[in-house]
């Protein structure tokens, strides 16, 4: 399973960006997809997550400004980031908890759950 993220860039404070992350591979179902971010020298932190039943969770620092959404048919999650602040500057990582197909031979499906990370995408907010 691979996660391909896109949409990062440079924006002025108060501006908006939209991140996308698409999962591909031997996917049976996806339990949760989300976004984390990391500033150099600091720990990676939660930004937002969404479950397969569309339950969302946001960090307090982005509530009311960021919106996570998904397209289950495309195995894709989006992060709409509005009212961006310089402190939102970080590398943003996509994460997915996936039920990965082990075998689908002879009408018998077996799978296991595994967590995946995408390569980060840089978001820079200038003041």
The strand pairing partners of 19, in sequence order, are 79
> Which residue numbers in the chain have pLDDT < 70?
none
pLDDT of residue 8: 93
Tell me whether strands 17-24 and 121-126 are parallel, antiparallel or unpaired. Answer: unpaired
Say how far apart CA 113 and CA 17 lie, in whole Å.
31
Three-class SS state of 82: coil
pLDDT of residue 86: 97
CB 18 within 8 A of CB 80: yes
pLDDT of residue 79: 98
pLDDT of residue 31: 97
pLDDT of residue 52: 95
pLDDT, tens digit (0-9, with 9 covering 90-100), for 70-87: 999 999 999 999 999 999
């Amino acid at each position: 399973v691979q996660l391909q993220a896109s949409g990062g860039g440079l924006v002025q404070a108060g501006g908006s960006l939209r991140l996308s992350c698409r999962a591909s591979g031997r996917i049976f179902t996806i339990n949760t997809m989300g976004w984390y971010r990391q500033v150099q020298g600091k720990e990676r932190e939660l930004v937002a997550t969404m479950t397969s039943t569309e339950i969302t969770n946001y960090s307090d620092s982005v509530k009311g400004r960021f919106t996570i959404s998904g397209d289950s048919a495309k195995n894709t999650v989006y992060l709409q980031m509005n009212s961006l602040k310089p402190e939102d500057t970080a590398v943003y990582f996509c994460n997915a908890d996936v039920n990965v197909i082990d075998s689908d031979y002879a009408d018998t499906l077996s799978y296991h759950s595994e967590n995946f990370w995408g390569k980060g995408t840089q978001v820079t907010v200038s003041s």
